[in-house]
Structure 1
């Protein structure tokens, strides 16, 4: 799914960054995010299709500066949690301004005639909410885990993986559930009379 490519800076950061080498993770995330934004803009993609990529560019620019200026910051061990705090803020913020971040992505994969329908908007509100919840739960979980057991690598990786996999699966399935429900409702509704009785 094209939309998931926007998460590649975050995923690569998670793979590369460690408590000692978060600088390289931050720099890699920044470079990948900037490349994605540049390529997408040159191919004519609108800004609302690149919310996650743009958010990544800002986040990793800030994190790169912090990791270079203060490589031993007290925030260093909490890098994985910070990622999810930022992503949660991005998702909840997009909902707060009534522009769910998945909306622009979904428009690239749906026919234009459905873009302005209430159902299309509602589906994206639900999907964006699922991502926001996943990021929030991951942020809280990672904060507690990293504070209590900073070297619990397997647990941290599991939480990070689930925070992407669970909402990604939901994103793929939820529109199909809505469509199936609409078909059942349409099939159960009585057809309008076409007779000529007076």
Structure 2
């Protein structure tokens, strides 16, 4: 559940958007604020809250648009827009050397491993998997909407965009550590990485 916490605003938005674009956007914004506040209250570093800040920017913009122009043609493409924005945020987090999964991984891993090469590499790979998934989802959702392929296709793409990388996230770190141990024959977090 910890991993999904940053996605709560998106899940709520997706669940309500079919009924009301405006209220779904506002709900996403409010939940995004609550999640960020809870993270700050727990003392989590704001510099690693890339997903949460990216979510706030998206939902603030969509909320304004949805209330000012409720008939906007962009509403039709809200699935592709949200996946595209998530792709942009996740790829951007990697470009900024702050893969968005670092914030989540730091909750589970002890501080002494946070700056190791293996820990950082695992998080770059995980973030890339999520970014690729969101990129493909955005393209797929735009095609489904543009060609009128229906709600079932849209829901399938949307669910796949979360389920596939979530399953990869659950299994990849252990496999990566096992491979590292096999190669190095030592502790999986021995090498310290360059400062991020």
How does the TM-score come out when normalised to structure 1? 0.89
Q: In 1, Cα distance between the equivalents of 2:141 and 2:83?
A: 9
Moved more, 3-12 or 138-147: 3-12
Show CA shifts across 1:16-62 (max 9, x none). 102x6211110111111011111221221211443222211111111
Q: In 1, Cα distance between the equivalents of 2:4 and 2:20?
A: 25
Q: How does 1:50-89 map to 2 (within 5 A)?
A: 50-89=49-88
Q: How does 1:17-36 map to 2 (within 5 A)?
A: 17-18=17-18, 21-36=20-35
Aligned to 1:195: none
Moved more, 109-118 or 64-73: 109-118
Moved more, 112-121 or 133-142: 112-121
Aligned to 1:145: 144
Q: In 2, Cα distance between the equivalents of 1:186 and 1:56?
A: 39
> By how many angstroms is 1:137 displaced?
0.1
> For structure 2, which runs of at least 5 residues remain unmatched after alignment?
187-196
Aligned to 2:15: 15
Quick check: 1:42 aligned with 2:41?
yes
Aligned to 1:174: 172
Are the aligned partners of 2:48 and 2:98 in contact in 1 as well (CA < 8 Å)? no
2:108 is paired with a residue whose SS is: coil
Which of the numbers 182, 185, 195 marks the counterpart of 1:184? Answer: 182
Are the aligned partners of 1:81 and 1:142 in contact in 2 as well (CA < 8 Å)? yes
Rate the CA distance shift 1:124–1:114 in 2: closer, same or farther, 3 A: same
What's the C-alpha RMSD, in Å, of the aligned pairs?
Answer: 1.6
Are the aligned partners of 1:49 and 1:105 in contact in 2 as well (CA < 8 Å)? no
Quick check: 1:155 aligned with 2:153?
yes
Are the aligned partners of 1:50 and 1:105 in contact in 2 as well (CA < 8 Å)? no
Q: In 1, Cα distance between the equivalents of 2:54 and 2:79?
A: 16
Aligned to 1:109: 108
> By how many angstroms is 1:173 displaced?
0.7
Matched pairs, number? 186
How does the TM-score come out when normalised to structure 2? 0.89
The structure whose Rg is larger is 1
Show CA shifts across 1:119-178 (max 9, x none). 11111111000000000000000001011116x111111111110111111111110101
> By how many angstroms is 1:187 displaced?
5.4
Aligned to 1:192: none
2:158 is paired with a residue whose SS is: helix
> For structure 1, which runs of at least 5 residues remain unmatched after alignment?
189-198
